[in-house]
Amino acid sequence: MQNQNDTEIIKNISLIPLRDLVVFPSTLVPFIIGRPSSVKALEKALEKDKLIFLSAQMDASVDNPRPKDIYSTGVTAKIIRTIKIDEKNIKVIVEGKKRARAIEYLNTHPFYQVLAKEINEIETSETDVKDELKRVLTLFEDYLKLSQNANFETIIPALKDNKPERVSDIISSHLYVPLEEKQNLLETINSIERIRRLNFVLENEILKIHSKLKKEGRKKNQNKSPQGQKVFPSGLNLKKQNQSNEIEELRKKVSQANMTKEAEDKAYKEIERLESMPPMSAEATVCRNYLDWLTSLPWNKRSREKRDIKKAEKILNEDHYALEKVKERMLEYLSIRQLVKNPRGVILGLIGPPGVGKSSLGRSVARATGRKFVRLSLGGVRDESEIRGHRRTYIGAYPGRIIQMIKKAGTKNPVFLLDEVDKMSVDFRGDPSSALMEVLDPEQNRTYLDHYIDTEFDLSQVMFIVTGNMAEPIPRPLLDRMEVIRIPGYTEDEKLQIGKQFLLPKQMKIHGLKKKNLNINDEALNKLIREYTREAGVRNLERELTSICRKVVKKVVTKGKEHKENVNPKTLEKHLGIPRYRRSKIDKENEVGVSLGMAWTEFGGELLTFEVNKVHGKGNFMLTGRLGEIMQESAQAAFSYVRGKIYELNIAKDLHKNFDVHIHVPEGATPKEGPSAGITIATSIISLLTDIPVNKKVAMSGEITLKGKVLSVGGIKEKLLAAHREGIKEAVLPVDNKPDLKDVPQNVKEEITIHFVSNMDEALKIMLIKELPENLKKDKLPLSSEISNREGEGEGPQNPPLTH
């Protein structure tokens, strides 16, 4: 019955002899090894390819088996995991791969190494085995229900979609039959024969279980005393009592957990299974863990909410400066709670640059509402099972992170912060963002189903706060489930107040300093913000204040507790060194072909310099500075717009055949993306070709079309904050972005003159230091025949200067 064709010879594979255990292909099996030879064989396999040969001993009592004491047929297996239990014993988890036969023992000391040949299954038609397979599945389900050695509800569904050979191996691994019978099933390589053998074995086992149950029933009736009390056999009294106490304790926990009806029924059913199992079996441990999780979840426990609007507002203002939109939304929610008993849960999405207080806001909201607070970081999560949990059929299964955090909170209505949602990724194990859709959908999360708990849990009363730096990486269906609030960067005035009121007092307290020990005046703080940090948030500001506090602590320790340090702009360099950021000359001097654009990144607003030059060539167009695909397309559109205006402006008519245009954006190590640089690039090119410098007091942002229209862009507040931070006095924006100014701080609008334009002609009047000559603008586009005639007569325009 063995097919010897197309088999693979495996040389020098380590062998571990197993006591009372037969491993089958396609199964995950844990076992413990402790013999020195087995440990060395394991170590050798781990050094190579983690492949090992496993075969059963004929007699489990033999400590040092010889080759004749070990079955020649076994399996090749992949080592999945090893856990060191103590100095001698190691727990090993393996996955059976293929049947194999040990042809020759190459080494028996210090461990077994064999020459093995893998055995291929004899191929069978599924139609031939269909009826046999259906019968064996029915018998196996009956066997599991009667024996209660495993959970048939989880095993049977896993078998129905598999191939006959795999089904027969999985069933064989779950049978509690003598070792010789299991070895016989392993050595039967024809799947039809193996399934027929399984039918025979299962029928016999079911008959044995029925007979055993009848005998136990008669014994119970005989062992009852006249008063109806059970009498335990001698020697088992203590074990039975301990198990009985454990079962009663579990029943009590279930009754006190206030579970849903579905969860309670599942728990009692699991207790019945546990009661019939051997107390020390592996399956009993799985049952206990499952029941512990069920009984420890807060099925009906809630935090008592604070609904005082004024106190909540006071707490939010104590913890955070600005962030008015988020605070207003929280106060609105508390107001609704006073009128509606059970409103829908809140799912807020806070999107903004790092360091603006998104994560810490969750704690403040929990404190203001009187709820528990839990935080789950989603950065780097790429496995769906981390959200939904693992099914209990897997070894070492546990609930998902959502259920774990709910258990940690101890209530069903905590403030739940899902941090860095935009940093999740996807791989072959599933898409975690898809699993989050059920969590963040108010219509679905009241019946949230974790794979491990396997019963519905209500998440509708949880207040979810989701944070991220950028909205673009977040899948659109997931983003639609949130109420998105965009948190922009702070202005310099806001940073000054945050530093004075929050960060400096916090760091002084951490470092043990008193008010008399350290004083930093407003001028010093402003210089620190402008010249030592460049960020949308305040994380680096806090870091620099920490550095100052450390240096002051050292002086206080050496000079005495009464020492006082006054920090002003002149002494700031003594504490922090030379300034890290300085405004370069390019920010002050007007140049030809160089313009200033406003950009929006995940770290807030930034200013970018765009440089354009022309060299001898053939009309090519070059882009450098790590520009993304969208920005490259925007630059192409700007260049095409300028080429379309060449004859209208009477400039560089031979550009397409004598010159190459090169556009560069400095800071080449930093990637740049987006369409908002269109008008900036077009201005730089026209400045170069007309020899008119660009006004360096003006920063600009807007998407350009081929016809010269200026379209709206995003991140207006962040861009204007960056311009304000760099001392820009004028800005050019698309006219469609005028409504976005309502979010811009008043002092920024007062200090920056904002020009709104709808096309490039309007923009050029503002951005170039002088207007284009009137006669140039009125020139009409000559006909192609006129162009060819002029070129033939040598009357074409003279080449302009190469560089400016």
E-strand spans in 669-796?
698-700, 703-704, 710-711, 730-734, 753-757
DSSP code, position 322:
S
CA–CA gap between residue 360 and residue 354 (Å, rounded)? 12
SS3 at position 289 = helix
State the residue for tokens 């700007």: 638
Provide the annotated active-site residues: 676, 719
Residue 745: asked if its preceding bond is cis (omega within 30°), the reply is no
For the stretch 431-442, what's the b/e string if a residue is b when 16 or more beta carbons lie within 10 angstroms of its beta carbon? bbbebbbbbbbe
E-strand spans in 576-656?
594-601, 604-616, 621-624
Closest C-alpha to 596, from 616, 579, 610:
610
CA–CA gap between residue 598 and residue 786 (Å, rounded)? 42
| DSSP-assigned letters across all residues of 728-765 | --EEEEEGGGGGGGGGS-HHHHHHSEEEEESBHHHHHH
> Per this entry, what is the length of the chain?
804
For the stretch 457-494, what's the b/e string if a residue is b when 16 or more beta carbons lie within 10 angstroms of its beta carbon? bbbbbbbbbbbbbebeebbeebbebbeebebbbbbbeb
Closest C-alpha to 67, from 18, 102, 117, 118:
102
Dig out the tokens for 556 from the structure: 């206080």
Q: Are 685 and 696 in contact (CB under 8 A)?
A: no
Dig out the tokens for 297 from the structure: 């979840």
DSSP code, position 188:
-
Q: Which helix (H) or strand (E) holds 648?
A: helix 646-649
Residues 6 or more apart whose CB falls under 8 angstroms from that of 606 comprise 598, 599, 600, 722
